[in-house]
Amino acid sequence: MKSFTLDLPANYRLRDVLAFHGRDTESVAEEVGAKRLRKGVVLDGVPVVLDIGLAPASASCAVHADGKLSKATQQRVREAALSILGLRIDPEPFRAFAAKDDMFGPLTLAQPGLRIVQSATVFEALTWAIIGQQINLSFAISLRRTFILQAGRRHSSGLWCYPEAADAVKLGIEDLTGRKFSRAKAETLLRLANLVASGELQLDATPTNSIEQISAALLAVKGIGPWTVNYGLLRGYGYADCSLHGDVAIRAALQQLLGEEVKPDMPRTEQILARYAPHRTMAAAHLWASLHPRGDDDKDSA
């Protein structure tokens, strides 16, 4: 596959992209520099490294694949680059929507150009959401690294590639529980991988498999709840209207903005966020950023 170039919009917040992909200082599947990002991921059975050179107005994407890429997989590579660079959701509609809002108007002015950075694939986003359930970020990052080393594949360049479902199903429960995964977390992770690998759970959004249908199918999986689904939609699909009312950091940000002594409970948080449909994903991004203005937007949400 030939290299390709993506245009970057005005006010592009490169620091947010680098902060998200550089959260793991011991990362095995990402390499982050001031003007370069390398990401390893398995796509349709082929280990691929995306080597992205970052300039002020463009991103030059070199593709290094350990195998031949079909036309469909080449498109998946391009889609992965768009996700990695946070180019799926245009922040302008929410900025205009919230311009006169007492709470979000000032936030959008304080964080111009804020975007949602995504995982390279939907499977990566969902597995990261499962891994991060009810634990702190540093522990979640270490478990994610373990998962990559156990289920992923090493590219010829030496960088590890985030696994696909077909890779993950080769693991047993003990492979994970023996490395600090709780049994419930390991079972949910492998349950998802088996459903996806078998084709029983289809993750591709198509005219006959809508986001709403995918959400319902995910909620039917034991161990996956509304927070995991919404986080997966946000990081995996770039879906513009995810309600993160179950997110601890979202509730903490609302508490701070409302000047209240305790966090709003989930029903009230859901009610507040409902005012900003169909832009609740960007609302969540601005709430995260209000707590962590340097770009580590979901530091407490994992």
Q: Is the pTM of this model over 0.95?
A: no
- Can you tell me the distance from the alpha carbon of 102 to that of 141, in angstroms, rounded to the nearest whole number? 36
Given a cut of 60, whether residue 278 has pLDDT beyond it is: yes
Which regions of the chain carry the CATH code 3.30.310.20?
4-90
Give the pLDDT score at 294: 52
Given a cut of 70, whether residue 32 has pLDDT beyond it is: yes
Distance, C-alpha 77 to centroid of its chain: 16
Tens digits of per-residue pLDDT, 198-248? 999 999 999 999 999 999 999 999 999 999 999 999 999 999 999 999 999
- Can you tell me the distance from the alpha carbon of 125 to that of 120, in angstroms, rounded to the nearest whole number? 8
Handedness of CA 281, 287, 290, 295 (dihedral sign): negative
Given a cut of 70, whether residue 126 has pLDDT beyond it is: yes
Give the pLDDT score at 144: 98
- Copy the structure tokens of residue 124: 């990566």
Which residues is 153 bridged to in the sheet? 161
The CATH number of the domain covering residues in 122-291: 1.10.340.30
CATH of 4-90, one of 3.30.310.20, 2.60.40.1660, 2.60.40.1150, 3.40.50.720: 3.30.310.20
Give the pLDDT score at 293: 59
- Can you tell me the distance from the alpha carbon of 150 to that of 72, in angstroms, rounded to the nearest whole number? 27
Given a cut of 60, whether residue 300 has pLDDT beyond it is: no
Tens digits of per-residue pLDDT, 146-161? 999 999 999 999 999 9
Given a cut of 50, whether residue 88 has pLDDT beyond it is: yes
Which regions of the chain carry the CATH code 1.10.340.30?
122-291
